[in-house]
């Protein structure tokens, strides 16, 4: 195992109706003037935004609103958010929505306290300082509720790039699985795919003897394989939604990735594709993941065979481990298709 630092200060507030406590957590984490950031309208239609506002009103916390975040969030709205925060003297950013809204909120948080162009962070500069961010999550997918990352698309040139820094890890994240029951099946499936990609890309490592994180990843992948088809068949099942939501957080706050090298090629390729074609991140991954795995399999056949046996229940072919490895990749591909993901870019 390699040396590592792991800092994960986010307070997770999990369960039914917990969004009604948002005001209390904003106050606890020092917010007095808040930017509430949200997406294209799902939080208005579900009544969530109203409940969050009521919770802030109850604590007498002032706020301004900025909606309109698009999936694959754009830099234009980030610049707008930074201006609002400076003019209104905002001291806390609250993201109500999915990974795109949270990532846009993180970019605004970093950009507001930075003299230069916030895009510098997406060109490689590490984020050292940011306004505090809190989240009310509405989709289990990107894991941004617990991650130190943000991914933004710059319209000029259509560059989709990531920025990182512990300063943008959320101070708190409210996770009510019931909020994900309004997701269209396609978005639920795209979220499942993204969660599995975050696990797989950590599983693919050159680091030897990392059994503890291998086993954590395998357990989470088995959970997704069990719960994925169940949630598609029974979208209102709270318990299934709860397992998926917590798995989504665990998959990407890096507790499963510490002390080992990781392989983010499928994600990097998908980011280019979603920048160019604006496809849903998870749907893009359903195509790139099995394709990249097939391409790189020979680099470490035994690792792919291990996943095939432990995660997919394949029988190990000791004479021809590449047959087992291939079968595991094929089962992954078929799983994505079975939950409604595309098999190619047509
Ligand atoms: O915009 P609204 O109206 O809210 O609709 C959204 C959006 O259309 C909808 N939605 C979300 N919750 C809903 C809902 N509809 C009904 N009911 C609900 N409860 O779902 C659509 C997708 O939302 P989005 O926020 O884009 O989804 P996701 O969480 O998958 O985020 C994707 C973004 O995260 C980035 C991706 O690249 C992509 O830009 N990633 C961020 C990461 C990070 N920060 O750590 C890591 C990931 O690997 C990923 O790259
Ligand atoms: Zn992802």
Domain presence at residue 4: no
Answer whether 167's CB lies under 8 Å from 77's CB: no
Domain presence at residue 5: no
Query: Residue 140: which CATH number?
Result: 3.40.50.1970
Regions of the chain short of the pLDDT cut 50: none
- Ligand 2 center to 27 CA (angstroms): 31
pLDDT of residue 175: 99
DSSP label at residue 85: H
Give residue 162's region: left, alpha or beta (phi > 0; psi -120 to 50): beta
* The token pair that represents 142 in the structure block: 């990107």
User: Does 297 lie in the same domain as 203?
Assistant: yes
Domain presence at residue 170: yes
pLDDT digits (tens, 9 = 90+) for 165-182: 999 999 999 999 999 999
Which residue, of 131, 151, 179, is where some domain finishes?
A: 179
User: Does 161 lie in the same domain as 188?
Assistant: no
Residue whose pair of structure tokens reads 């309208």 in the numeric block:
41
User: Does 116 lie in the same domain as 55?
Assistant: yes
pLDDT digits (tens, 9 = 90+) for 19-35: 999 999 999 999 999 99
**Nearest alpha carbon to residue 333 among 312, 316, 306, 313:** 312
User: Does 188 lie in the same domain as 84?
Assistant: no
User: Does 242 lie in the same domain as 305?
Assistant: yes
Using the CB atoms, write b or e for 121-131: b if 16+ within 10 Å.
bbeeeebeebb
Complete DSSP assignment for 263-327: --HHHHHHHHHHHHH---HHHHHHHHHHHHHHHHGGGGHHHHHHHHHHHH-PPP-SS-HHHHHHH
Biggest CA–CA distance in the chain, Å, is 69
Ligand 1 near 326 CB (within 6 A) = no
Ligand 1 near 75 CB (within 6 A) = no
- Ligand 2 center to 215 CA (angstroms): 21
Give the number of domains in the chain.
Answer: 2
Q: How far is 113 from 49, CA to CA, in rounded Å?
A: 26
Domain presence at residue 1: no
pLDDT of residue 346: 79
Ligand located closest to 176 CA: 1
Domain presence at residue 148: yes
User: Does 174 lie in the same domain as 195?
Assistant: no
Look up the domain containing 133 and give its range.
11-179
How are beta strands 133-137 and 33-38 bridged, if at all?
unpaired
pLDDT of residue 203: 98
pLDDT of residue 260: 98
pLDDT of residue 345: 85
Ligand 1 near 223 CB (within 6 A) = no
* The token pair that represents 89 in the structure block: 């003297």
Ligand located closest to 235 CA: 1
User: Does 250 lie in the same domain as 139?
Assistant: no
Query: Residue 277: which CATH number?
Result: 1.20.1090.10
* The token pair that represents 336 in the structure block: 């994505």
């Amino acid at each position: 195992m390699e040396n590592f630092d792991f800092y994960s200060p986010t307070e997770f507030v999990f369960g039914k109706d917990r969004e009604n406590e948002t005001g209390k957590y904003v106050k606890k984490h020092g917010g007095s003037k808040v930017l509430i950031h949200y997406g294209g309208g799902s939080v208005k239609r579900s009544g969530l935004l109203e409940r969050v506002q009521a919770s802030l009103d109850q604590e007498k916390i002032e706020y301004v609103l900025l909606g309109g975040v698009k999936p694959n969030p754009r830099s234009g709205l980030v610049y707008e958010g930074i201006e609002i925060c400076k003019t209104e003297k905002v001291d806390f950013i609250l993201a109500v929505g999915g990974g795109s809204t949270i990532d846009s909120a993180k970019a605004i948080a970093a950009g507001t306290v930075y003299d230069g162009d916030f895009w510098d962070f997406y060109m490689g500069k590490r984020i050292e300082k940011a306004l505090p961010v809190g989240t009310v999550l509405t989709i289990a997918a990107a894991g941004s509720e617990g991650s130190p990352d943000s991914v933004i698309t710059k319209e000029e040139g259509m560059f989709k790039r990531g920025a990182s820094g512990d300063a943008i890890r959320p101070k708190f994240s409210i996770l009510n699985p019931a909020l994900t029951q309004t997701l269209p099946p396609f978005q639920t499936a795209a979220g499942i795919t993204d969660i599995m990609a975050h696990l797989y890309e950590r599983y693919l490592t050159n680091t030897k003897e990392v059994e503890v994180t291998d086993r954590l990843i395998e357990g989470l992948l088995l959970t997704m394989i069990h719960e994925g088809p169940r949630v598609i068949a029974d979208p209102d099942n709270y318990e299934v939604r709860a397992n998926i939501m917590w798995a989504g957080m665990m998959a990407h706050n890096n507790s499963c990735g510490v002390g080992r090298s990781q392989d983010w090629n499928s994600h990097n390729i998908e980011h280019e594709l979603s920048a160019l074609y604006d496809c849903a991140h998870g749907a893009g991954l359903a195509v790139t993941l099995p394709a990249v795995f097939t391409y790189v399999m020979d680099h470490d056949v035994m690792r792919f065979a291990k996943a095939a046996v432990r995660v997919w229940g394949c029988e190990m072919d000791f004479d021809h481990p590449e047959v087992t490895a291939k079968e595991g990749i094929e089962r992954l591909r078929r799983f994505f298709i079975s939950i409604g993901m595309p098999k190619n870019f047509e």
